[in-house]
Amino acid sequence: MPERGSGRKKTASGDPPEPLDGAAAMDIAVRFLATRPRTRWELDRRLRRAGVGERVVEATLARLSKIGYVDDAAFARWWGEQRDRHAPRGRRMIEMELRQHGVGREVIEDYRAEHANPDRAPEDESLPGSEAERARDALERHLRGRSLPSDARAIQRVGMFLVRRGFDPDIVRSTIRAAGSTEATDELS
């Protein structure tokens, strides 16, 4: 009886399990990709954890790359769009999350260059385009229809919330000022 999720068969004599072939590796990879896009690094880790050999891992990743299922640049764009749509984050936070998913430095630099233009319009008009728009969206979601607090400590807490989400302190100050409060924005760092 195969172990759940690994595709490896138990042997009755306790011998090491037989190595997985390309078809089994592809099956594991496709199941892993079924839930959301993945980076090359994530797929590599998943296949190695399942006991797939080095050559089979490389062949499987090459095949998936060739047919377009593994593309770190597309993953970075998808990840940024998902963040903008569901949980807005600053550029620094998105880049850190991409690094955690194994996206390479060159891909992150390309992503940064693509999104550095403050006047760029996103493909989906409902998504924020600039860092300031993302900060404003994050603030609106955080406040959930309430008005911005009036005391300095509460404003500072709201500002620190945005800083923890990866927004630059200057963007945070301008976002809070635009939301209607000039008090205590100088205290944010």
CATH at 41: 1.10.10
pLDDT at position 22, please? 85
pLDDT at position 183, please? 45
State how far the Cα of 10 lies from the Cα of 175, in Å rounded to an integer.
Answer: 58
User: For residue 57, what are the CA distances in angstroms to 25, 102, 114, 124, 129?
Assistant: 7, 16, 31, 36, 38
Point out which residues pair with 9 in neighbouring strands. 2
Within-domain flag for 174? yes
Within-domain flag for 120? no
46 and 110 share one domain: no
Nearest to 116 by CA among 86, 95, 145: 95
101 and 148 share one domain: no
66 and 82 share one domain: no
pLDDT at position 61, please? 96
pLDDT at position 17, please? 62
1 and 62 share one domain: yes
66 and 78 share one domain: no
Last-in-domain residue among 57, 85, 115 = 115
Last-in-domain residue among 88, 115, 142 = 115
Per-residue pLDDT of the chain (189 residues; tens, 9 = 90+): 444 455 555 555 555 566 688 899 999 999 999 999 999 999 999 999 999 999 999 999 999 999 999 999 999 999 998 988 888 888 899 999 999 999 999 999 999 888 766 555 555 555 556 888 888 888 988 888 888 888 889 899 999 999 999 999 999 999 999 887 544 444 454
39 and 15 share one domain: yes
Within-domain flag for 125? no
pLDDT at position 189, please? 46
pLDDT at position 86, please? 86
Collapsing DSSP to helix, strand or coil, 2 comes out as strand
Find the distance separating the first CA and the last CA of the chain, reported in whole Å: 59
Nearest to 178 by CA among 145, 119, 136: 136
69-75: long-range contacts (C-beta < 8 A, 24 or more apart)?
A: 69/29, 69/30, 69/33, 70/38, 70/39, 70/40, 70/43, 72/39, 72/40, 72/102, 72/103, 72/104, 72/107, 73/107, 73/110, 73/111, 74/37, 75/37, 75/38, 75/39, 75/101, 75/103
156 and 111 share one domain: no
Within-domain flag for 121? no
76 and 66 share one domain: no
Question: What total of structural domains would you count in the chain?
Answer: 3
pLDDT at position 122, please? 54
pLDDT at position 149, please? 85
The mean pLDDT of the chain is 83
1 and 66 share one domain: yes
pLDDT at position 1, please? 40
State how far the Cα of 57 lies from the Cα of 25, in Å rounded to an integer.
Answer: 7
Q: Which domain holds residue 148?
A: 131-187
Within-domain flag for 108? yes
Within-domain flag for 124? no
Predicted TM-score (pTM) of the model is 0.74
